[in-house]
Structure 1
Amino acid sequence: MTSTYRVQLTPDLGFREVARLVGYLRDLGVGRLYLSPILQAVGGSLHGYDVTDHGRVRAEFGGIEALRALAAEGLPLVADIVPNHMTVPQPESDNAQLWSALRDGPGSPAARWFDMEWPVALPVLGDDPGGLVVDGTVLRYYDHVFPIRPGTEHLPLPELLEAQHYRLVNWRESPGYRRFFDVSSLIGLRVEDPEVFDATHAVMLSLVGEGVVEGLRVDHPDGLADPRGYLERLRPHVPGPLWVEKILIDGERLPDGWPCDGTTGYDALNMITRLFVDPAGRDALIETFTRHTGVPGSYEPVRYEAKKHVIELFFRGEVDRLVDALGDDALREAAVELLAAMPVYRAYVDPGEQPSAESLAVIQAAARQAATRADADAVAKTANLVMYGPAEAVTRFQQTCGPVTAKGVEDTALYRWYPLAALNEVGGEPDRFGVSAGEFHAFCAGLAPTTMTTLSTHDTKRSEDVRARLVVLSELPGEWAEAVGAWSGAVRFDPRLDYLAWQTLMAAWPISAERFTGYLLKAAREAKTSVSWQSPDHGYEAGIARFAEQAIEVCGPAVAAFTAKVDRYARVNSLGQKLVQLMMPGVPDVYQGNEVTDFSLVDPDNRRPVDFDRRRRLLAAPGDSWDGQKLLLTTTALNLRKRLDPAAPYEPIEAGEHAIAFARGDRAVAVATRLPAGLERRGGWGNDSLMLPPGRWRDLLTERRHTGRILLGHLLSRHPVALLERAPNEER
């Protein structure tokens, strides 16, 4: 495994269109083509995680024959699979298994597919419950269609509703089924059931067996009842790469015994970002943030309040089912506080098994914190039950931790506490400003050669180059405070949103008012401080649009000037983080289009069409622009990875405060500039140098030859990065 290139399939970018990109991707140096979900999904879906039929390859992409034709182009395929959930579509009849379960209830063979409570609550009704119509054997509610239980078709409407295996409730209520996070339109699957596993995986595993698909990326394994058991069932069918989308908080590792090749790389992403952050800017950035927003300077209280908020807002039904499993209604408060205190997405306790030392430590630490906010005895009892109690209690707690953390942290706290938004990534810790080269080297020493690394994905909150600009603020906190003070003095709207808006406007510049407004609307709704997805406020949202337009119109020239100054250093960060990611241990993934600069924001902004024609032209003649340099670096590193043993040892090289350097075995050396503004302030490299490993080395970016100890000012005089190779037959 050398590298992957992630493509977001859409109705406009199906298998035939991707097949026409294979030549370009091969020239780029890509090792494997990594596809978003390929099974039948809701018509028009731009992401594919809303699967409706596991038995078909998506027709909008060209179906199975077009997929086979893509595979025949010769670039091995990795596909994203979604075992945790499928969609509740409109009309509901588009999901045959769900339709059967709703019509026939617990007696339906399809009922075992879903984690339901009967009669199952379906949150679809608007605030005005009118609109229900009986139409033969179906019940219609605007675009919704529900099956009527056989034999009840002729009952009066009130009695008919009472006779169904489901009950229709207000759209704000919790559903009577496990779902994906708070998304009631995505219903959880019980893939722990062998029959459900077989039915939902038959097509995908047949494609693997046929050789059409070589490897798989497993979406959201933390949602499953038994992630390890799922992987143990899946692994024998997948001889190629098998990655899991597992979010690891700092210092956390994959549980022992998971039969997979590693994660999709958020742990690497966050470590790389921190490597380019100057910790000296921490206090000044936090002071500027608190002054503009009024938010506390400590992250942890914000994180706690956000988790408590989403538990009450979204997860009352999930907590109800957990408390029922615990067997004691008096434990509700303790259960809520334990969920809020969990520091990671899941502790991986399996019913009937002795928890690992790591799992015990996580839950016990959470219990100590929860005991400061709820009855200590109740917390202790709850913690004991979720480790050693009934199987349902153990499993429900595990399956609830992830959604609470995802919604409470990713989709709430990270939109409320953002002194440096570059740190507010999935799995990130926004109060950890920077890591040293030594800390980064230690992290790399623990990485498996098969795990995936990444800098941008379809789920990142901002692209790698947006982050490359933002981390510069850690080196220019005074200049930033002055600039944002002037902008906010000229245009203002909501203090809890404006400061994030100014960071975003600068880091994504130039950006249209439409894109900027779309981002701010999502950010405000996720923060849930003034407006939310559940509680829209048309006046407030119109105010966001006016603010976005005025910010660009009034402050655009000043933002552009500040961004131009930032870009002197952001280009250095952009190239440096790209080199580090492509050459560190693991299998590097390039997200579509990010072989050149990309200043996209959170989805759907980061799923816009990519101009591959421009990239083809640039690959033929990269030139010396930022885009050209990034593309040259990317293609050079990807092609070098093809010549490099994936398990080549990672060897740190001492390079001083302003560089990160390492060797991969005796074949490759990577050197990248860090903290470029500080380097400029100190007057450049001076006498800083590094010692190359034995042998004669060629910088693949400049064609210069080097050996022994070399001055960094000489090595990095043309580019802020260097990528050196020693030929296999070169004398050492």
Structure 2
Amino acid sequence: MTEPAKPTATYRLQLTPDFGFQEAADLVGYLTELGVSHLYLSPILQAVPTSQHGYDVTDHTRVRAEFGGPDGLRALAAAGLPLVVDIVPNHMTVPVPESGNARLWDVLAGGPRAESARWFDIDWAGGDGKVALPVLGDDADLATDVVADGDVLRYHDHAFPVRPGSGGRLADQHYRLVGWREPPGYRRFFDVTSLIGLRVEDPEVFAATHEVILGLVAEGVISGLRVDHPDGLADPRGYLARLREAAPVWTVAEKILIDDERLPGDWACAGTTGYDALNMVTRLFVDPAGAEPLVDLFVRHTAFPRDYDTVRHEAKKQVLAQFFTGEVERLTRDVPQLRQAVTELLAAMPVYRAYTVPGEEPPAETVRVLREAAERAARHADPADVERAVELVLHGPAETVVRFQQTCGPVMAKGVEDTALYRWYPLACLNEVGGEPDRFGVSAGEFHAYCAAMAPGTMTTLSTHDTKRSEDVRARLAVLSELPDEWAEAVAGWSEQVSFDPKLDYFAWQNLMAAWPISVERFSDYLYKAAREAKTSISWIAPDAAYEKGVRDFAARAIDVCGPSVAAFTERVDRYARVNSLGQKLVQLMMPGVPDVYQGSETTDFSLVDPDNRRPVDFAYRRTLLAAPGAGSWDAGKLLVTSQALRLRARLGPDASYAPLSTGESGAGRDHAIAFTRGEQAVAVATRLPAGLARRGGWGAATITLPPGRWHDLLSGARHTGRVPFAHLLARHPVALLEKE
């Protein structure tokens, strides 16, 4: 089958009940002028009516009413930009009341013989043949709190169907109500019990859950797909093959790759949603010389270990014990003697999935990864048991092989993304989804090698609806790798005036500076979430009102007492952060792949993790700035880089070749510039490590030799040929975008 046509660039919009299809259509003119080829939408199927994100789907047969329904979607498609849509094959929501999900309601009423029973990944073999529903509060009294109401049982806002012939007796239903901290009787999304796993590997379930989406693709309303969380599926390869056959459009998968991991070549998609590219671009602007002093500073302030591997292992073991006992029990039900070995193997896995398909010989890379994990696991469990566990997950029963892989992802996501990365943060811009916080920086050569191996249709990005920090927050934080001594002095001064919890304070100072200015409410909400994710003092399942008040008091005092000093330090950082911001934007938009621009990030955006990064965007301001750029502002510069790069990408097409361009074998050019060509028509040049460049007195006599021809800088308007001094090429902007005349 021929490869589907690729966009030249996408623009991601987060739809909400207050920002639906009509509001998106109103932006099509602006986005077209900006230079994108496709509009990329968050999930569009019916979700919980108040949902601000759309991943909590309740009904696959309907386009979401709050957005404008199918007519509104068709009108948006007709407005002028082809649509790429985010789809959610892995799960549905367990709403409150539960009657909001008709398929789930059918299963709760009819049990394993219900028409919809094949839809959900329910553990009917555990818990005396009933599905456990973790909804009960700590002080629940089933005898008095669960009330019969006709053919419904009610527990506060929850509602459950009565099994025919049961007389309304709770003990005679197909479900058990259990405490909210207990594991559910179904596969869930990570540790979120309100999201129940779908069995999309069943052809009938695939057909029913994709009918509307596939119909819209066939109609031409949808031109591309983004697949949410494929690692949760029983058979991602088989799913993507079936999807490609039914919808032969450009498709990317939200696959988190770690370090040098590559997307399997037999997955029928164009690539990932771009976290791998994001982390490489971020590292390009981080000075590796800052690693040792920043780790020293982090350890001094927090007393956490210097070794990230130790923190990561402890975090994964903690979430396995706190959140995933049900998953491990289900995985080892037939081999309970291997429970510890399997637990340690899960904790030692370095990636989100092992790519083993039952009945097939495991790929060599899969075997290597599992053997290395086994070596680490054998330090904490009986080596013979670990060896048996490895054989089981490589060659055992299909159920075990699949279940192990479906558990790896949640343990990685909760243990690393949502625990370890909130505990070990010497330089927080490295703590991104799929990131490795102990890997400080990459060289220009390493970056070029990465780009040479990229799939041309993969997505690239700098910010998403799930990033821990927006791209400009990370641009500021990257500067600290070049100013570790000044940063240490600033933090020492702030900490003397305001302190709370050593495990949180240093994290707070980094993010306060990088997101400045920020309100007390936003900052305290962020720290409150971060503390709960870190799970060192409080957690989502172990709240502490006194500690939470302390977090909010600290946030208020930090801004009130230290605000002027934080503002002054941020102003110094911004001299260099602006260079990083424009540089990483140009690199991401011009490197191989299909670049995505997250809503609002065409200008500066200093957002933290969701929901902070899903706040409404001031598009009127951006539209005005695009029409009449402001003189010299950071926003104007970033919008200029974005628009000119996107328009040039449209002229180049999606398949232009990539080649490194030498910036010199020594001196300022080698150390502080990144340059490459796209095809025969474009050259991108960006400044990196700008504080170090300033310390050495600037570019000096360093030059770059352009490819033959006459080149027009789309940012400054200047013309160049041949050998050009960096000081001249980058006199007006810290980046250059050249098109051959």
| One-letter code aligned to 1:301 | T
Q: Alignment length, in residue pairs?
A: 720
CA–CA separation in structure 2 for the residues paired with 1:343 and 1:19: 42
CA contact (8 A) 1:226 1:350 kept: yes
CA–CA separation in structure 2 for the residues paired with 1:708 and 1:338: 56
Alignment correspondent of 2:62? 56
3-state DSSP class of the match of 2:147?
strand
How many angstroms does 1:449 deviate by?
A: 1.2
TM-score (norm 1): 0.98
State whether structure 2 residue 232 is matched by structure 1 residue 223: yes
Alignment correspondent of 1:298? 307
**What are the residue-to-residue correspondences of 1:273-312 with 2, within 5 Å?**
273-312=282-321
Alignment correspondent of 2:708? 694
| One-letter code aligned to 1:4 | T
Alignment correspondent of 2:419? 412
How many angstroms does 1:702 deviate by?
A: 1.1
**What are the residue-to-residue correspondences of 1:548-567 with 2, within 5 Å?**
548-567=555-574
CA–CA separation in structure 1 for the residues paired with 2:306 and 2:122: 42
Q: Structure 1 residues 34-43 or 129-138, which shifts more? A: 129-138
**What are the residue-to-residue correspondences of 1:236-635 with 2, within 5 Å?**
236-324=245-333, 327-623=334-630, 624-635=632-643
CA–CA separation in structure 1 for the residues paired with 2:734 and 2:293: 27
CA contact (8 A) 1:208 1:237 kept: no
State whether structure 2 residue 637 is matched by structure 1 residue 644: no
Aligned match for 1:714, one of 728, 732, 741: 728
3-state DSSP class of the match of 2:442?
coil
3-state DSSP class of the match of 1:692?
strand
How many angstroms does 1:153 deviate by?
A: 2.3
**1:547-578 superposed Cα distances (whole Å, 9 cap, x missing partner):** 00000000000000000000000000000000
CA–CA separation in structure 1 for the residues paired with 2:480 and 2:532: 26
Alignment correspondent of 1:103? 109
**1:290-319 superposed Cα distances (whole Å, 9 cap, x missing partner):** 000000111000000000000000000000
3-state DSSP class of the match of 1:66?
helix
CA–CA separation in structure 1 for the residues paired with 2:241 and 2:514: 43
Aligned match for 2:71, one of 59, 65, 68: 65
**1:60-89 superposed Cα distances (whole Å, 9 cap, x missing partner):** 001000000000011000000000000000
CA–CA separation in structure 2 for the residues paired with 1:162 and 1:546: 47
How many angstroms does 1:703 deviate by?
A: 1.2
Runs (4+) of structure 1 exceeding 4 A deviation are none
3-state DSSP class of the match of 2:737?
strand
3-state DSSP class of the match of 1:23?
helix
| One-letter code aligned to 2:8 | T
**1:37-70 superposed Cα distances (whole Å, 9 cap, x missing partner):** 0000001100000000000000000100000000
**1:81-110 superposed Cα distances (whole Å, 9 cap, x missing partner):** 000000000010110010000100011010
| One-letter code aligned to 1:22 | V
How many angstroms does 1:498 deviate by?
A: 0.4
How many angstroms does 1:193 deviate by?
A: 0.2
State whether structure 2 residue 84 is matched by structure 1 residue 78: yes
CA–CA separation in structure 2 for the residues paired with 1:328 and 1:457: 41
CA–CA separation in structure 2 for the residues paired with 1:572 and 1:239: 40
CA–CA separation in structure 2 for the residues paired with 1:474 and 1:433: 9
3-state DSSP class of the match of 2:660?
strand
How many angstroms does 1:645 deviate by?
A: 2.9
3-state DSSP class of the match of 2:480?
helix
CA–CA separation in structure 1 for the residues paired with 2:721 and 2:280: 30
3-state DSSP class of the match of 1:37?
coil
State whether structure 2 residue 9 is matched by structure 1 residue 3: yes
CA–CA separation in structure 2 for the residues paired with 1:199 and 1:247: 27
CA–CA separation in structure 1 for the residues paired with 2:571 and 2:716: 26
**What are the residue-to-residue correspondences of 1:138-217 with 2, within 5 Å?**
138-153=152-167, 160-217=169-226
CA contact (8 A) 1:136 1:153 kept: no
| One-letter code aligned to 1:406 | A
CA–CA separation in structure 2 for the residues paired with 1:238 and 1:699: 40
How many angstroms does 1:150 deviate by?
A: 0.3
Alignment correspondent of 1:45? 51
Name stretches of at least 5 consecutive residues in structure 2 with no aligned partner: 1-6, 125-129, 664-669
CA–CA separation in structure 1 for the residues paired with 2:160 and 2:170: 11
CA–CA separation in structure 1 for the residues paired with 2:369 and 2:239: 23
CA–CA separation in structure 2 for the residues paired with 1:487 and 1:19: 47
CA contact (8 A) 1:531 1:537 kept: yes
CA–CA separation in structure 1 for the residues paired with 2:363 and 2:726: 47
Identity of aligned residues (%): 71
| One-letter code aligned to 1:216 | L
Aligned match for 2:100, one of 90, 94, 99: 94
CA–CA separation in structure 1 for the residues paired with 2:113 and 2:371: 41
Name stretches of at least 5 consecutive residues in structure 1 with no aligned partner: 155-159, 728-732
CA–CA separation in structure 1 for the residues paired with 2:719 and 2:510: 41
| One-letter code aligned to 2:101 | N
CA–CA separation in structure 2 for the residues paired with 1:569 and 1:195: 55
State whether structure 2 residue 38 is matched by structure 1 residue 32: yes
Q: Structure 1 residues 713-722 or 122-131, which shifts more? A: 122-131
CA–CA separation in structure 2 for the residues paired with 1:368 and 1:299: 18
**1:347-406 superposed Cα distances (whole Å, 9 cap, x missing partner):** 110111100011111111101111111100000000000000000110010000000000
How many angstroms does 1:239 deviate by?
A: 2.4
**1:219-270 superposed Cα distances (whole Å, 9 cap, x missing partner):** 0000000000000100022222100000000101001211101000000000
3-state DSSP class of the match of 2:607?
coil
How many angstroms does 1:207 deviate by?
A: 0.5
| One-letter code aligned to 2:235 | D
**What are the residue-to-residue correspondences of 1:9-24 with 2, within 5 Å?**
9-24=15-30
**1:680-718 superposed Cα distances (whole Å, 9 cap, x missing partner):** 000000111111111110000111111111111110000
**1:388-441 superposed Cα distances (whole Å, 9 cap, x missing partner):** 000011001000000000000000000000000000000000000000000000
3-state DSSP class of the match of 1:440?
helix
Q: Structure 1 residues 562-571 or 694-703, which shifts more? A: 694-703
CA–CA separation in structure 1 for the residues paired with 2:474 and 2:324: 32
CA–CA separation in structure 2 for the residues paired with 1:175 and 1:706: 65
CA contact (8 A) 1:463 1:601 kept: yes
Alignment correspondent of 2:131? 120
CA–CA separation in structure 1 for the residues paired with 2:628 and 2:239: 47
Q: Structure 1 residues 89-98 or 127-136, which shifts more? A: 127-136
3-state DSSP class of the match of 2:595?
strand
Aligned CA RMSD, in angstroms, stands at 0.6
| One-letter code aligned to 2:555 | A
How many angstroms does 1:462 deviate by?
A: 0.3
3-state DSSP class of the match of 1:707?
strand
Alignment correspondent of 2:666? none
**1:306-349 superposed Cα distances (whole Å, 9 cap, x missing partner):** 0000000000000000101xx22110000000000000000110
**1:170-217 superposed Cα distances (whole Å, 9 cap, x missing partner):** 000000000000000000000000000000000001000000111100
